[in-house]
Amino acid sequence: MASDQSIEQVSRRATVSNSPKIKVLCIDDSATVRELLGRIIQAQPDMELVASAANPIEGRELIKRHDPDVLTLDIQMPRMDGLEFLDRLMRLRPMPVVMISSSTQPDSKETRRAFELGARDVIAKPKLGLRDGLQRSGAEIAERIRTAARSQARSQPLLPRPRPKAEPIQLPAPSVACRDHLIVIGASTGGTEAIHAILSRLPSSAPPVLIAQHMPAGFTRSFAARLNASSRLSVREAQDGEPLLAGHAYLAPGDRHLMLGCSDRGYRIQLDAGPEVNRHRPSVDVLFRSAAQRAGSNATGVLLTGMGKDGAAGMLALRDEGATTIAQDEASSMIFGMPREAIALGAATEVLGLDAIPARLTASPAATRPPQPGWQRPAAAIRGRYPGEPRRCAQCPP
């Protein structure tokens, strides 16, 4: 059995700041879960458990009393189902919610519904060894609560967009040729909301969008469904070999690298289960480098909020090929790590706030800006090849 010390060790990895502690309220009908989550939260120097409740009815009153920053919520509870409570909560008092339940297994209907209703994150309780499993996951649970606290709650849940009663018949979109414009987006911590903010404002006529978001395997399909419900684009989890279509967005599966391929019929999706790059699979660098190789100046690269430096070198490769490269600015980034690294390398042709990015992406491809005359790559930037990086094919731009 994991020792009590394992939970205490979690606190030593957290960074103490001068900002107020994150106030967390836990709603779960299991006294054991409430106790374990309480100990994990109280062990963090930047968090406090303000209250816990055995059901949503009790929790509703405690929310009014304590005004928590983050709510952890079970699903199967007496008096009211957790998803029903989440639906009501997000309509009346939106706030960051992390679902922690045995029902929120990867790609389950409960997980998809939780995301649709506005949950910031979902964590699956271990099916066996509940106490040991939660103790071992203490660091991950604490970090995901922190991430939820940094986000801003949506005022409206992401429900399927209304459609007109009679729609004109739409012909299938043609495959995009290897000289056409496309968009590649990379993100990590805080990226789910940033990506939603961008895709929800792109028109159905937008060029293909390829997305690498750091996310565990099993959750990307649900995230894609959530994005699809709030976008005029058709958003789905990418499948190996499928052609890229205008008005479509493709999300990298949680355990595969996403790369841009090219055939005599146009751009294609390439998925790869190779080694992690920058400790990630999918890696933003892998996606960006493949776009630099295959699309060159016909690509627009966007690097959003996230920790670390994944995507910075790939964005430099894009800029070297004449692509427009956009880094999210510090003011609108939840974590200004990846964009800062790209800016430091000289990889970004533009630095924009999140609200300005969708309009920039809908500008004419002719507005894309190559490197300015006289620009030279910083000496510190070394162009490398990742394992399996595609070389330029006969159909790719010269």
Q: Which residues are catalytic?
A: 188, 214, 310
The per-residue DSSP string of 227-242 comes to HHHT-SSEEEE--TTP
How many Cβ atoms from other residues are within 10 Å of residue 66's Cβ? Answer: 14
Q: What's the rounded Cα separation, in Å, for the pair 120 and 140?
A: 15
Nearest alpha carbon to residue 145 among 156, 137, 155: 137
Could you tell me the sign of the dihedral formed by the alpha carbons of 218, 183, 199, 232, in that order?
Answer: negative
Q: What's the rounded Cα separation, in Å, for the pair 359 and 206?
A: 11
Nearest alpha carbon to residue 255 among 218, 309, 285: 218
Cα 52 to its chain centre, rounded Å, is: 29
Residue type, 251: L
Q: What's the rounded Cα separation, in Å, for the pair 288 and 273?
A: 17
Euclidean distance between the first and the last CA atom of the chain, given in angstroms as a whole number: 60
